[in-house]
A and B are shown apart, each in its own frame.
Chain A
Amino acid sequence: MTTVTSLEAARELLSEFPVVDGHNDLPWALRSQVRYDLDARDIAADQSAHLHTDIPRLRAGGVGAQYWSVYVRTDSPDPVAATLEQIDCVRQLLARHPGDLHPALTAADMEAARGEGRIASLMGAEGGHSIANSLGTLRGLYGLGVRYMTLTHNDNVDWADSATDEPKAGGLTAFGREVVREMNRLGMLVDLSHVAATTMRDALDASSAPVIFSHSSARAVCDHPRNVPDDVLERLPANGGVAMVTFVPKFVLQAAVDWTAAADENMRAHGFHPLDTTAEAMKVHRAFEERRPRPLATVATVADHLDHMREAAGIDHVGIGGDYDGTAFTPEGLADVSGYPNLLAELLDRGWSKADLAKLTWKNAVRVLDAAQDVARGLQATRPPSNATIESLDAPAG
C-alpha cells in the first residue's frame, strides 16, 4: 500500500514532469459510442459513466501529453477513410478545448504545452492497415499530424506479422522494411506494440531512428505475445527507443490472461467480437464475470513490469501507455486516466528516485520524438520520398 506522503510526492512530481501517455483510444470510443457527437460526450465534464477519459480526470492524473490513437478496426471495409475520420475527431476535440489541449507535432510543441499547463495532443495510427499498402497514404497521414504508426494491430498486414496472428512474413517483408525507412525519413515514430517479436527484431534492424512501444509490457513478467521479450528490451539502449508500459490486465497479469481467453471464447459463442464494447456486448461480458470472478490486476502488477523493464532496457528507455478507452478492464488503482499518481507513488515506495520518475513520465518520451525528427531531417537531405510499391518489392518468388 502506498502512503499518503508518497502520493503527495507523486503529485508534486507530476506537476513538474507530467505523464506522456503513449496510447489512448478516446477517438475510437467517441466513434463507436456516439458517432463523434461530441456534445453527447463532452470531455470538459465528467464522463466516468461512459469513458475512462475526460479533461478533469486527465488533469487529476497529471497527464501532460497524450498520443490519441486514431485506431480503426482491421476488418474495417474502409480503413483509410475511417482513419481520416478519426484524425478529424482529434482535430474537433482540439478545436473545442483550446484551453486544455495543445496541438503538438514536435518535441518543442510538447515542451511548449508543458510550459503553458496544457495537455500536448499528438496522434498515433494503430496498425499498418491504415495506409492500405501505400507510402503516399503514409505521407498523407504524416501531413495530417500522425506522429507514430503501430506497424500492425491484432491481425497481420501484408508486410508485417502481428503478435496475435499466425506467422506469415516471418517479421517484415521487403516492403515492410521500406515502410520503416520511409517512416524514418518522415520523422514518424515506428511503434512496435502489437507486432510479433520477429517483426520487432526486423524493425530494430531496419530503423535508423529510435522506436517506441506505445503500449506494451514485459513478457518476462507475464508471458503474453502483446508484451516485449527481454532480448528486444535489451536492444533499446543502442536504439534509443522507449517501451511504454501498458496497464491492460489481460496482458499484465497471468490469471487475467487465462480468464480473458475464457471470456473471449464466451463472447464469440454469443456472436460478439471479443473487443466489442457496445452496451449489448458488455452485458454478455458482465454475465460471464458473475459466473467467474475476474482476477484483479493492481498498481503493483504494473510496477512489477516497470521494475523489470527498467532492469532489462534501462531507466532511459521506459515510459507509460495506459491504453485507456481501448480496454474493457483496468487495474485497481488505475481505473481511469486519473490514476497515474498511484503508479508513481508505488514506484517511489519501491525506491525509484525523482529523477528516474521524471524520465519515466516525461523526458524519455519527449526525447524519442525529438530524436526521430532529428534523424528525419538528416534523411530528407539525402533521399527523396520513396516510390516503392508492395508489388515491386514483395512480388511472389518465381
Chain B
Amino acid sequence: MADLQDDLRPTAAADFDEPAALFPDEGIVTAEFYEPVSDPDGAPMTRARAILAAHPVADGYNGLPWALKRLPWYDLEEGESTVDTDVPRLRSGHVGALFWSLRLPEGLDGDRAVGATLEQLDLAKTVVRSCEEGLRPACTAGQVADARNRGRVAVLLGPAGAPALGDSLGILRQLHLLGLRVLTLTGVSWAGDAGLTRFGEEVVREMNRLGVIADLSGASAPTVRRVLSLSRAPVLFSRSAARTLRPHPANLPDDLLAELGAAKGLCLVPLTAEQTGPTVRDVADHLDHIRAVAGAHCVGLSGTYDSGAAHPQELGDTSCYPRLIAELLRRGWDEADVALLTWNNVQRVLRGADFTARAAQQRREASTATISELDT
C-alpha cells in the first residue's frame, strides 16, 4: 500500500483513468443484460462454482489481521489452519474481495481510539505485504477490479468504528489517506439514539467528499433514516440480517429494509449463527427475505470470519461460499441475482462512493467544521 503515499501529490490524486466509473449506477446489471455462465440443468454445486468463478464473493466483513495478532508466525499462502481465512480457502471459496474490519478494543475512546486505529491500519498493511501472491490492497472499485484481473484477492480497509475519528474531520481525512474505506456510525455522541447531530451530518458530508462509505449496522433508526436521506453516496449495513426472521438488535426491520432498497443501499448479511441462525437454509431464508423486501440490488454477504462469531453449520470458513450459493440456486435464484449478491452490488456501492467523492471534490473544499462549534 506504499502507493497511498502518492496521495500527497496533487498530480496523483486527480485520477481520471477510470472513465467508466463516472456513472454511479453503471454497476447495476439487470437480468435482461446478464449473460449466463452456467448450465441451467447442471447440479447446483457445479453451477454455483461456475457462477462464482465469474462473479466471486466480495466479503463485507472479515477480522483476519486481528486474529493473526495472537500467532507468533503465520503463512497465509501456504494455509493457516488456526484461522478461518487463508489463501487456499479464499480461492476454493471463490472470494474476490475482502473488507477487513479494524477492531478497537472495547471501551477505547479519544486519543487511544485514534492511536489504536492507526495501529490496526498498519497491522492490516503488514499482513497484506506478507502475502503479496494472494492479496492486493485496494481502495477504489477500479483497484478491486485490477486485483481480480491479477488473480489476487482485493483487500479493502474497514469498517472501523466511528470513535476512530476522535470527533475530528481532519483525522477522518488522514484515516482515509491511510486507506480507510468504511466507517461504522455508532459509539459516538454525534450519531446516537436521537440521530445525527449537526456535526454528525457534517461527518457524513465529508465522508461523501472523501469516498468513505457509511456503515449503519448497529446505528439507531433515526441515524439510519437521516443518513439515508443525507448521503449522496450509497450506504451499507456491514452486518445486518432480517429482524422479522431473527430478533437481533443489528438486524433490520422490514420498514428500514424497504427504505434501504429505495435509497439503493446495501445490506450485507453476516454468516453468523447469532444473527442468521444455525444452518445454511437459515442464511438463505434471510437472503430470500431481504431480496424480496429491499430488492436484489441491495443484498450482499459478510462472512464475518475471524471475528470471534460462531458460524452456521457447513459455513465454517471462507471456503464455504459455494454451499450457500448452491442452496440459493436450489431455491430458484437466477444467475443475475446471484452475481449481484456476490460481487456486483458491492462494486456498485464502491463506484458510487468514488463517483460522489470525485464530484464533491470539484465543488467544495475540505470541511473545517469542529464538533465544539456545531454541537454545543
Contacts and interface: CB of A to CB of B under 8 A. Distances in A.
Interface of A: 35-38, 77-81, 84-85, 87-89, 91-92, 94-95, 98, 103, 105, 132, 134, 136-137, 139-141, 143-145, 384-385
B171 A85 contact: yes
B9 to A, nearest CB: 5
Contacts of A35: 370
A396 B151 CA distance: 49
Contacts of A78: 110-111, 114, 166
B17 interface: no
Interface stretch (B118-126, B277-285, B306-314): B118-126
Given A81-B168, A140-B122, A95 B4 contact: no
B115 A134 contact: yes
Contacts of B31: none
Nearest to A142: B5
Contact of A80 (B118, B122, B170, B366): B118
B111 A77 contact: yes
B365 interface: yes
A66 to B, nearest CB: 15
B36 to A, nearest CB: 44
Interface residues of B, number: 32
A29 to B, nearest CB: 16
Given A134-B118, A140-B118, A87 B174 contact: yes
Contacts of A79: 111
Given A105-B8, A132-B112, A385-B122, 13 more contacts: A80-B111, A84-B168, A84-B170, A87-B174, A92-B368, A103-B9, A132-B111, A134-B115, A140-B118, A140-B121, A141-B118, A143-B125, A145-B5
A137 B115 contact: yes
Given A36-B368, A94-B10, A84 B171 contact: yes
B39 to A, nearest CB: 47
A81 B178 contact: no
Given A81-B110, A81-B171, A85-B170, A140 B366 contact: no
Contact of B4 (A77, A81, A143): A143
A5 to B, nearest CB: 40
A85 B174 CA distance: 8
B161 to A, nearest CB: 15
23 contacts: A78-B114, A78-B166, A80-B111, A80-B114, A80-B118, A84-B170, A84-B174, A87-B174, A88-B174, A88-B366, A92-B365, A92-B368, A98-B10, A105-B5, A136-B119, A137-B115, A137-B118, A140-B118, A140-B119, A140-B121, A144-B174, A144-B177, A145-B8
B168 A132 contact: no
A385 B114 contact: no
B122 A95 contact: no
A137 to B, nearest CB: 5
Contacts of B123: 136
B173 interface: yes
Interface of B: 1, 4-5, 8-10, 110-112, 114-115, 118-123, 125-126, 130, 166, 168, 170-171, 173-174, 177-178, 365-366, 368, 370
Contact of B366 (A37, A92, A98, A145): A92
Closest 6 CB pairs of A and B: A88-B170, A136-B119, A140-B118, A78-B111, A81-B166, A136-B122
A146 to B, nearest CB: 11
Interface-central residue, A92, A137, A384, by most chain B CB under 10 Å: A137
Interface-central residue, B118, B130, B166, B173, by most chain A CB under 10 Å: B118
Nearest to A37: B368
Contacts, number: 94
Contacts of A87: 170, 174
Contact of B368 (A38, A141, A145): A38
A127 B99 CA distance: 34
B173 A88 contact: yes
B8 A91 contact: yes
Contacts of A139: 122
A274 to B, nearest CB: 25
A71 to B, nearest CB: 15
Given A88-B174, A95-B365, A144-B177, A136 B118 contact: yes
A40 to B, nearest CB: 10
A98 B8 CA distance: 12
A72 to B, nearest CB: 10
Contacts of A137: 115, 118-119, 122
A391 to B, nearest CB: 14
Contacts of A80: 111, 114-115, 118
A221 B366 CA distance: 46
Nearest to A35: B370
A80 B166 CA distance: 10
Nearest to B120: A136
B173 A77 contact: no
A300 to B, nearest CB: 39
Contacts of B166: 78, 81, 84
A77 B110 contact: yes
A384 B111 CA distance: 27
B178 A140 contact: yes
A37 B123 CA distance: 34
Interface-central residue, A84, A132, A137, by most chain B CB under 10 Å: A84
